[in-house]
Amino acid sequence: MSTLQEKIIDEVVSSPEKQKKLYKQTIITVILSQIFGGAGLAAGITVGALLVQDMLGTDSVAGIPTALFTLGSALTAYLVGRFSQKHGRRLGLASGFIIGGFGAIGVVLSAKMENIYLLFLFLFIYGAGTATNLQARYAGTDLANPNQRATAASMAMVFTTFGAVAGPNLVEITGSFADTIGIPKLAGPFLLAAVSYIMAGIVFLLRLRPDPLLVAQAIAKKSQSQELNQSINKITSENNKPIILLGAIVMIVTQIVMIAIMTMTPIHMTHHGHALGSVGLVIGIHVGSMYLPSLITGILVDKIGRNIMVIAAAVTLFISGLIATFAPGTSLFWLIIALALLGIGWNFGLISGTTLIIDGTTPLTRAKTQGSIDVWVAIGGASGGALSGVIVASSSYGTLAIVAGLISFVLIPALLLSKKKSIED
């Protein structure tokens, strides 16, 4: 850390007013980045499976794109978490977004060359943007008070909606543009993703100064001596293990359920004669439902509690799976309802789980722990994406949806066991 940076951080640490100003500045920066980031992540979930299906001519591997970019997201989550812990959010988040942008460029070039192996490689790299987009929600919480944490995390996600909803609904426009320049139509949305992710990275590079995580760490170190802080940190980590574990399980399970159903919905729709524009509409509403309710969800998590919202996540995801199972494949209306509820259930789970992780950590270990947990969230999503194609190919979309919906009820016993463990400790 440079002497000038240390001086600036010291000035913020010693001034509550400057801390409040930095908190607001950080929220605005995260919001700007999320508008771009949302547009970037929408490309993969809207046309990734269709692109591979088109190149290979089979449904059984249609879940591979989601698996690949979520695996890439897992690696990035780990690296960004470790890097951010040491060097701050600014460089970690900016790097992740820019790498994801170059991955999207690689996807476009691979589709142009019709090289499936390169496509798989660059889908993996593209996943860096997905992980970074999720990790960005933590930046807004670094300087938040305990009763603001869920709201702060949700602020970032609310504004992801603008880009995330626009992305799927620009599928036909970006596809037509790609077609005019000699690129496969289904690769068009990845052109938008490339620009969006790189812009999000630039926003962090230019605006996230001073770094909120480094400031939060400096505040923690100032409040106690280094030796005492380490002792407190160790004790806190041990006492809060049930909270951290519950938060991790909530995010992993909701990710598996959401990714599994979402991945195969475009394939299911095209099999029932829906046009690409209809697919974009359903996925756009789904992605909007993942992010737009965030501000209300954050307030609910802060006001009525983390545990109640975990239960709400399980119930909402189950109802989504139930509707997706029994709705006619030709009904655009019921598919919209099912995918909207899928997004809302994921939103409940992600924000309540995120807040539990923040509650259970301190600034001195928070980014590293967040990154490690997001690795497992991404691996869970990758597993859901990969298995979804196999399940649909061997059985049906309805089977996939009902199984995924039932899995969501794992959250209830996890919550009860966590409460029991906390009481025993």
**18 vs 385: which has the higher pLDDT:** 18
Q: What angle do CA 67, 274, 54 make, to 5 degrees?
A: 45
Least confident of 85-89, 165-169, 255-259: 165-169
Between 146 and 343, residue with greater pLDDT:
343
pTM to 2 decimal places: 0.77
CA-angle at 284, arms to 280 and 289, nearest 5°: 155
Residue 14 is assigned to a structural domain of this protein: yes
In a domain, 253, yes or no: yes
Q: Is the pLDDT of residue 226 over 70?
A: no
* Rounded CA separation 313/265 (Å): 20
Range of 24's domain?
A: 3-222+235-424
Confidence (pLDDT) at 2 = 63
Q: Which of the two residues, 282 and 239, has the higher pLDDT score?
A: 282
DSSP H or E stretch at residue 196: helix 188-207
> Is it the case that residue 128 has pLDDT exceeding 60?
yes
Place of tokens 């030796």: 227
Calpha distance 281→284 (Å, rounded):
5
Report yes or no: 126 and 47 within 8 Å, Cβ to Cβ: no
User: pLDDT, tens digit, for every residue of 379-401?
Assistant: 888 788 878 888 988 999 999 99
Q: Could you tell me the sign of the dihedral formed by the alpha carbons of 166, 167, 173, 177, in that order?
A: positive
Cα 294 to its chain centre, rounded Å, is 13
Residue 229 located in a structural domain? no
Length in residues, the chain: 425
CB 356 within 8 A of CB 250: yes
- Asked if the structure places residue 296 within a domain, the reply is yes
pLDDT of residue 219: 87
Percentage of the chain beyond pLDDT 70 is 91
Asked if residue 232 has pLDDT above 50, the reply is: no
Task: Summarize the confidence of residues 246-263 as an average pLDDT.
Answer: 94
The count of domains in the chain is 1
User: What average pLDDT does the chain have?
Assistant: 86
Residue 227 inside a domain? The answer is: no
C-alpha–C-alpha distance, residues 13 and 19, integer Å: 7
Please state which of the ranges 123-127, 150-154, 301-305 shows the lowest mean pLDDT.
150-154
- Could you tell me if residue 119 is inside a domain? yes
Where is pLDDT greater, at 168 or 233?
168
120 in any annotated domain: yes
Distance CA 219, CA 232 (A): 15
Residues 59-82 have a mean pLDDT of: 78
Tokens of 174: 């970006």
Nearest Cα to Cα of residue 329 among 277, 401, 384: 401
pLDDT in tens, 273-291: 888 788 888 988 898 898 8
Buried b (16+ CB within 10 A) or exposed e, 16-36: eeebeebbebbbebbbbbbbb
Q: What is the pLDDT of residues 352-377, one digit of tens each?
A: 999 999 888 888 788 888 888 988 98
Q: Is 228 domain-assigned?
A: no
What are the backbone angles phi and psi of residue 226, rounded to the nearest 5°? -60, -40
CATH number, domain containing residue 64: 1.20.1250.20
